[in-house]
Structure 1
Amino acid sequence: MRCIRDQTIAKDQLKRLSRRTTGEPQRKAIQAVEEILENVRVNGDKAVKTYTQRFDGFLPDPISIPPQTLKQAWEETPEALKSALQLAHRRISDFHSRQKPKDLSYEGLHGEVLARRWLPVEKAGIYVPGGRASYPSTVLMNAIPAKVAGVKRLVMTSPAGATGALNKTVMAAAHLSGVEEVYRIGGAQAIGALAFGTESVPKVDVISGPGNLYVTLAKKSVYGQVGIDSLAGPSEVLIIADHTALVEHVAADLLAQAEHDPLASAILLTTDDNLAKSLPSHLEAQLKDHPRAEICKSSLSDWGLIVVCKSLENCIELSNAFAPEHLELLVERPQALSEKVKNAGAIFLGPWTPEAAGDYLAGPNHTLPTCGTARFSGALGVETFLKTTSLITFTQNALEATEAAIKELAHSEGLHSHAESVNIRSNKQAN
């Protein structure tokens, strides 16, 4: 990991890290994704099966996994893992049930009734990544908010291994979460199937869940055809640490991010020069016999960064500019410092709150904005699967009290019939 002490250089390096999926690789991927999506739109299951065989090494015939197989996966799950999944399910459900928005209705100045009603989408598609690792936690973090929102039909896709078998714990989590429709497909072709519908896969209204570059670009392309949660890129953590932070905690938390993916980014901003100097040796020690050591080393080498700052205010300034997905505050007064954070997907306060707690079972969602998008977006939530409808009820008195203003605005826009639709109700002719 590169260590920097110059704040100007640090800003430039953080900008580089936030753009780690752009450039020529993305341009080539966009073209490939568009071809895949169009083929799936036109040829349905045939295209999905062809791409799955080409990219994942097996022919998904059938594409779907029977509910009984999901139930069997749950029944065969070891008891300790069952208990962990159930605890996570309870905590995530409890948190998301508290964030469900309420309808509103009130009477206006002239007796009119104005309201807004929240309604769930009918069908939601959940994408669960596979490949380098399997993520039952992602099943919970996507299915639970959809269920809390009231979505009647959940459709899940996830890439299977070369044998065509889906990870058993992923299937167990689907069963626990009440997901009965699961399809063993991944990549851009799975997003296309969810967006357009095929002979086997139903068209959905919203697609949620993280994925690789191809999945993200596919979600971006089909947005408008369907809703999406966000454009989640490679994961990232930024740790702000002072003299109170334990170097072994910092090293472990950085590696917890780096082990996700070679494109994952792990960053330390610290006011403690000794921490910065001792960190590399602790990282090396913890990487000894690490099962994902090569992924970690690639991530830290290409996208890791240590910045020594003069003050915590400098740390916050750099962090707010970077807008990290995960922000850990390993400082003496984390609560006070958190109040200065403007941009972050999730904030983890103090030495007893590793990011792993949030990834699995704290309660708030772990599907978060990445690559600087925390500047304008937040975590996946119940609202992701809801839509709002406005309800407007005017009385005659209310319309008569506002008709002059309505007509004035209509005429200002050159829309004659807008004004006339008010005139005709009050039996008046336009001047």
Structure 2
Amino acid sequence: MKLFNQPPKQEWDALCRRPVHAQESMDETISEVLKNVKRYGDVALQTYSKKFDGLDVSNFSVKTTEFLQAEKAISSQLKDAINLAKRNIEKFHTAQKEAVTVVETTSGVACWRKSAAIEKVGLYIPGGTAPLFSTILMLGIPANLAGCREIVLCTPPNKAGEIDPAILYTAQLVGITKVFKVGGAQAIAAMAYGTKQIPQVYKIFGPGNQYVTKAKELVQQGGIPIDMPAGPSELLIIADRSCVPEFVASDLLSQAEHGADSQVLLLCESKQVIEKVMNEVKQQLLKLPRKAIAEKALANSMAICFNSLEECIDFSNSYAPEHLIIATENATSLAESIINAGSVFLGNYSCESAGDYASGTNHTLPTNGFARNYSGVSLESFVKKITFQKLSAEGLANIGPSIELMAEAEGLYAHKNAVTIRLKSLQNDGTK
């Protein structure tokens, strides 16, 4: 990790920039994939499966027997863990349901809004070096709670053409049966445009590598909404002398092992604490199976010593991290000053892994500074809000003259007439 000591504010913008990795004409490459899948459908998917995965696949749908085999392959201990996480995630997201509230803005004018589920949603679940079955819980549970009628899941198979058993078990657990063995940008294209085998959806969710991310970005430009702009995983930790260096180091490494393009930051007002954490990072890194990946991420990461915790908070708000851990003595009060972050973890025992798996909050979060203007996935991500209004004769009489004046001022006389004709009818009927 690179070390910085009390950098002046004029250097903060540069420090907040995420690492830029070579993309080798990615726009052109992914655009070609999207175009071919849109035009040739399943034939294009077969071609790309052979080209990218070395698989000769003609039927992408997961069969019932594969779900049954997956359930048998999962240990009872892992099933219990997944079910515990499921209960907590359901509980947290169920609490996000909103009651319909009717507001009478003027006597006789009632306005309200209600949530309506997005009918068809697509979930992308990575299945490469880390099969993220936990993401199925994070996306499938709120999709079901929202009432989405059709949930489509795409995930890449392994070299044998099989899906990780934990992914299939978790999908079935949350009621998802339309699972397809397709990965990469071609999976995003299939869900965006539809093929004979894979249904078209109205919104696409889920993390992925740079190719999946770019595909989501491009289909959104074409009118298919996505959950949020995404990028490599990131974690920022604010620590003071009350932190446990071993804990802080473990959190930094837990995020660094996500991928070589991940980034972790440690902010502290004590050089001694930073040194202790860095020593722990070196020791713990030696024991990690994904050591090589974590080392690459650490090369793009930073430890910064500031004059005060308040300055650490200011920098964190500028950086807008996906995950933020506040490992300080007064973590809860400091958190009141946080305005830009995807998900915040308070105190020495609130490890980021808890949010990734089982505390109940959603782990699908904005990265790359988008926490400044985006929220993480929630129940609201799977619904749209529809507004309603109902005017009585009295209500129209109360606001009609104002509408007429405003419409005339904008030169929209048909708008004015839609009110005038009704007001005259009320006068002729003698209704007030």
Does the CA contact (< 8 Å) of 1:126 and 1:209 recur in 2? yes
CA contact (8 A) 1:71 1:175 kept: no
Partner of 1:11: 12
| Pick aligned residue for 1:242 from 240, 243, 253 | 240
Distance 1:68 1:402 in 2: 63
**Does the CA-based 8 Å contact 1:326-1:355 persist in structure 2?**
yes
Query: Could you tell me which of 332, 335, 338 is aligned with 1:338?
Result: 335
Aligned alpha-carbon RMSD (Å): 1.6
- Matches of 1:324 and 1:212, distance apart in 2: 19
**Candidates 153, 157, 161, aligned match of 2:154:** 157
Whether the aligned pair in 2 keeps the contact of 1:238 and 1:326 (CA below 8 Å) is yes
**Aligned residue in 1 for 2:273:** 275
Deviation at residue 413 of structure 1 after TM alignment: 2.1
Q: C-alpha offsets along residues 86-132 of structure 1, whole Å, 9 cap, x if unaligned?
A: 10111111111111222222333231221211111111111111222
Counterpart-to-counterpart distance in 1, 2:93 and 2:64: 25
Q: Aligned match of 1:422 in 392, 411, 419?
A: 419
Of 419-428 and 144-153, the range deviating more from structure 2: 419-428
| 1:60–1:185 Cα contact (<8 Å) kept | no
After TM superposition, the structure 1 = structure 2 runs for residues 13-412 of structure 1, keeping only pairs within 5 Å, are 13-17=14-18, 20-21=19-20, 25=23, 28-223=25-220, 225-301=223-299, 303-412=300-409
Following the alignment from structure 2 to structure 1, what is the Cα–Cα distance between the partners of residues 175 and 215? Answer: 26
Q: Which residue type is aligned with residue 14 of structure 1?
A: L
Contact 1:21 1:213 in 2 (8 A): no
Runs of 5+ consecutive residues of structure 2 not aligned to the other structure: 426-432
* Amino acid in structure 1 at the alignment position of 2:295: K
d(CA) in 2 for partners of 1:21, 1:426 = 62
User: For the Cα contact (< 8 Å) 1:400–1:426, is it kept in 2?
Assistant: yes
Aligned partners of 2:95 and 2:352: how far apart in 1?
A: 22
2:325 match: secondary structure = strand
Structure 2: distance between partners of 1:75 and 1:405:
68
**What secondary structure sits across from 1:58 in the alignment?**
coil
What SS is found at the alignment partner of 2:25? helix
Segments of structure 1 that go 5 or more residues without pairing to the other structure are none
CA contact (8 A) 2:317 2:341 kept: yes
Whole-angstrom CA distance in 1 between matches of 2:365 and 2:105? 38
> C-alpha separation between the residues in 2 aligned to 1:281 and 1:385?
44
CA distance in 2, matches of 1:137, 1:91: 13
Residues paired across the two proteins, number: 423
CA distance, structure 2, for counterparts of residue 129 and residue 78 of structure 1: 21
What letter corresponds to residue 299 of structure 1 in structure 2? A
The one-letter amino acid of 1:235's match is: S
TM-score by length of 2: 0.94
Q: Secondary structure at the residue paired with 2:130?
A: coil
Report percent identity of matched pairs. Answer: 38
